Structure 1
Amino acid sequence: MARPRTFEEERAVEAAMRTFWKAGYEATSTQNLCAATGLGRSSVYNTFACKHTLFERSLRHYMDLRNAALAELMEGDLPIREKIRTVLWWAVAPDPADPPGCLVVNTLVELAPHDPEIAELLRRDTGERVRVLRAAIEDARARGELGPGTDPLALAHFVGATVSGLRVAARGGADRATLELIANTALGAL
């Protein structure tokens, strides 16, 4: 019995996501995608139409995974400083099976300046992460965990920018000690 096409698509999107994450959009060839997904060239094109469509599906998949984890953490019962520490440590000590860096950050640099569709997708993604962080920070401020002068929107943007910076530093070869210094400095700003 053949596996359902949706299984193949999901598996292919996950494999393609990791390939794009590691090498970037431009440096990822159709041959790289075939090797990663186990699909032939015609199957890649029949299923996804083109490299750009597969990339967009991969990017959305990445965003969905990351945003779900962030929402789950921010909706939990931990104190806000522990929540933010956890988010920072996702960048300091990522899953060793993951490529270094961040597919979103890589795409912001590589494609957003000349691909309006991708730029809009990234803008909405950033807005969603800021919204989730801001809501958790507002709740923490209301519970007295943060001072009344805390600006939840500014702090949400700061956390997001710090995580992005950590991911860029990691992709650039920063060691664990350097990443911890950056994250601890950010935590000190809370």
Structure 2
Amino acid sequence: MARQKEFDPEAVLGQAMAVFWAQGYEKTSMQDLVQHMGVHKRSMYDTFGDKHALFLKALDHYTSRAEATFRSTVDSITDTRAALRALIEGSIEAGTEHSRGCMLVNCATELAPRDPEAAEQVERHFERTRQLLVDLVARDRNRRDAEALGTLLFNAWLGLRVQARAGQSPARLRRMAETLYALLD
């Protein structure tokens, strides 16, 4: 008879996500993961696979949560400019918390350039986020420039995320973001 898991895989995955997010892929050792996740190494391998597989699952966990938050914000705020402001403000707050930046942007710069699986996952999330911003702009009456403006907003949003990781203050990021809101006028 197979032994039942003595831990909640979702909770443990969240702990792995936090370690990778704080330290990055390269600086995170298997010992760091075992220690922070509170599981035996064998159980971790049996449940998640190797470090790389665990990282990709943790990244997927992160992106699923981020996308759900984005979607919820867009769906709950009918005014386009107010929705964009809420998205950007949420990103600034999340990105400057503990100076961790955005886990996906961190992965895009650390691992994706040499890891095709990570690059594919980053690109998938980036495209879904870009499309969400295009859709947000498009709902503001009959904007013909929704594709271009949504893509511009996406790229600016990414820039803010990188700036947050680089240590820019929330106040400075908010000043930068004011220009974005004016684009919707």
> Identity of paired residues, percent?
33
What is the CA–CA distance in structure 2 between the aligned matches of 1:66 and 1:27, rounded to whole Å? 23
Residue 75 of structure 1 aligns with an amino acid whose one-letter code is D
- The answer to whether structure 1 residue 188 and structure 2 residue 182 are counterparts is yes
* Paired position in structure 2 for 1:178: 172
Measured in 1, the distance between the counterparts of 2:6 and 2:151 equals 36
Q: CA RMSD in A?
A: 2.1
Contact 2:74 2:136 (C-alpha < 8 Å) held by counterparts: yes
Which amino acid in structure 1 is aligned with residue 70 of structure 2? L
Partner of 1:32: 32
Distance across 2 between alignment mates of 1:125 and 1:95: 17
What TM-score do the two structures reach when normalised by structure 2?
0.88
Instruction: Give the 3 Å change call, closer, same or farther, for CA 34–85 of structure 1 in structure 2.
Output: same
User: Which position in structure 2 is the counterpart of 1:156?
Assistant: 150
Instruction: Give per-residue Cα distances to partners, 1:115-157, cap 9 Å, x unaligned.
Output: 1111111111111112222122111133xxxxx45x1122222
Query: Following superposition of structure 1 onto structure 2, how do residues 68-79 of structure 1 map, counting pairs within 5 Å?
Result: 68-79=68-79
Q: How many residues align?
A: 181
Cα distance in 1 between the residues matched to 2:25 and 2:102? 13
Q: Where does residue 61 of structure 1 map in the other structure?
A: 61
Q: Distance in 2 between matches of 1:127 and 1:95?
A: 19
Closer, same or farther: CA 160–5 of 1 in aligned 2, 3 Å = farther
Question: What pairs up with 1:126-145 in 2 under 5 angstroms?
Answer: 126-142=126-142
Contact 1:130 1:153 in 2 (8 A): no
Q: Given the two structures, how large is their TM-score scaled by the length of structure 1?
A: 0.86
Query: Equivalent residue of 2:140, what SS?
Result: helix
- Taking the aligned partners of 2:100 and 2:146, their CA distance within structure 1 comes to 29
Deviation of the 1:75 alpha carbon:
2.2
Taking the aligned partners of 1:138 and 1:7, their CA distance within structure 2 comes to 44
Residues 18, 99 of structure 1: 8 Å contact kept: no
Q: CA deviation at 1:160?
A: 2.0
Letter in 1 for 2:169: D
Equivalent position of 1:120 in the other structure: 120
The 2-side partners of 1:169 and 1:96 are apart by 9
For residue 90 of structure 1, what is the aligned residue in structure 2? Answer: 90
1:30 touches 1:51 (CA, 8 Å); kept in 2? yes
Deviation at 1:34, TM superposition (A): 1.1
Match of 2:48 in 1: 48
Give the Å deviation of 1:94: 2.4
Q: Distance in 2 between matches of 1:98 and 1:38?
A: 23
Partner deviation per Cα, 1:51-100 (whole Å, 9 max, x = no partner): 01110110011111111111122223420000100111012222886652
CA distance in 2, matches of 1:182, 1:127: 23
Contact 2:95–2:102 at 8 Å: present in 1 too? no
1:145 paired residue number: none
